[in-house]
Amino acid sequence: MTALASRLGLAEVRARAFLLGPGITLSAVVAVAAMALGAHYGAPVMLFALLLGMALNFLSQDDKSAAGIEFTARQVLRFGVALLGLRITVAQVAALGWAPVLMVLVAVAATIVVGIVLARLMGFRMFFGLLTGGAVAICGASAALALSAAMPAHPLKERATLFTVIGVSTLSTLAMVLYPVLTQALGMAPVQAGFFIGGTIHDVAQVVGAGYSLSHDAGDAATLIKLMRVAMLLPVIALAAALARRHEREQGGDQPSGPRPPLLPWFAVAFALLVLLNSTGWLPAWLVQGGQGASQFFLVAAMAAIGMKTHLRDIVTVGWKPVALMVLETVFLAALFYGLLQLR
């Protein structure tokens, strides 16, 4: 009986692998290509993954690869978000002191609130404001993917996520070039300039590039502030999950349509546990570095899969309002963080 159950289980695993394998493999190949292009040209890897995926969107209509692409866009994405917890430790956050932590809390919360308010004023759903505001306020494309995974299903959800990734990657690259010049023009000291860069540029890679282009002290300060912003991903995911549950209750009335969802998505819980585990110092360096690399690869592969599910016409028809929304959020964050630095 046990042998029969074992054979049935093995057969199910093989069937699952046969179903998902082609799509997962395609997403992984595109991810490798995107990472190679990003390293060669010094451009955002997520943007390359998105564009390459969109060029291959016909593959998502193929019965052989569709299931694996869908799995990568949803489940592999969640694994990548969970492993982001290995990027930070409690000690790194504590080393900032209370003033920078308070500045980050205020800047992230205010940017998200402004994003939601502006989105509603422009006629968008609240969730689009949370998605764009969270991406700008926290860690760019990674935050956009994490928040999207926690939000309720919607016909335009993937289109909104794609636009947000494109917008935040473009703005982050521009900021990487312009903000170091701006800090010098404003006469900021190295550490203060690092705080500004770490508190305002969206993606981690661009923060590191911009900070260390000024000086080692500026780069260290920028990286620490940026890690604090990454740590804000957990409470913001919790907020998105809570709003999603409320939205689903409103849509479904008083009668629940299925099992009650958890207070936090499993990948958010895993993120928090990995932060705590990484903070103990028990994990060997090779394991932490491997987890960080796996996180990046999973997120890039998920972005490639999302690109494969999308047509270019879905992006070019978004209009000027979403662009204006993200630009306004970016300008607000920069102005607010500069103001907070003057009060420090």
- Categorize the per-residue pLDDT at 318 as very low, low, confident or very high, splitting at 50, 70 and 90: low
Q: What is the C-alpha separation between 31 and 48, in angstroms, rounded?
A: 9
- The separation between CA 19 and the C-alpha centre of its own chain, rounded to angstroms, equals 28
Summarize pLDDT for 8-44 with one digit per residue, the tens.
567 677 878 888 999 999 999 999 999 999 888 877 7
pLDDT of 257 reads: 44
Q: What is the C-alpha separation between 259 and 126, in angstroms, rounded?
A: 25
Distances in Å between the Cα of 317 and the Cα atoms of 149, 160, 290, 313 are 23, 12, 39, 6
**Ramachandran region of residue 281, left (φ > 0), alpha (ψ -120 to 50) or beta?**
left
**What's the mean pLDDT when you consider all of the chain?**
84
- Which of 71, 312, 286, 186 minimizes the C-alpha distance to 195? 186
Ranking 87-91, 127-131, 143-147, 329-333 by mean pLDDT, the lowest is 87-91
Summarize pLDDT for 194-245 with one digit per residue, the tens.
999 999 998 877 887 788 888 878 887 887 888 788 888 889 988 888 888 8
Ranking 146-155, 171-180, 217-226, 250-259 by mean pLDDT, the lowest is 250-259
Distances in Å between the Cα of 318 and the Cα atoms of 141, 153, 156, 193, 315 are 18, 19, 11, 35, 6
Using DSSP's 3-state secondary structure scheme, residue 212 falls into helix
pLDDT > 70 fraction of the chain, expressed in percent and rounded: 90
Q: What is the C-alpha separation between 3 and 7, in angstroms, rounded?
A: 6
- Categorize the per-residue pLDDT at 5 as very low, low, confident or very high, splitting at 50, 70 and 90: very low
- Categorize the per-residue pLDDT at 103 as very low, low, confident or very high, splitting at 50, 70 and 90: very high
pLDDT of 246 reads: 85
pLDDT average, residue stretch 144-172: 84
pLDDT at 255 over 60: no
Domain ranges of the chain: 84-252+261-278+311-343
pLDDT average, residue stretch 273-296: 92
pLDDT of 264 reads: 65
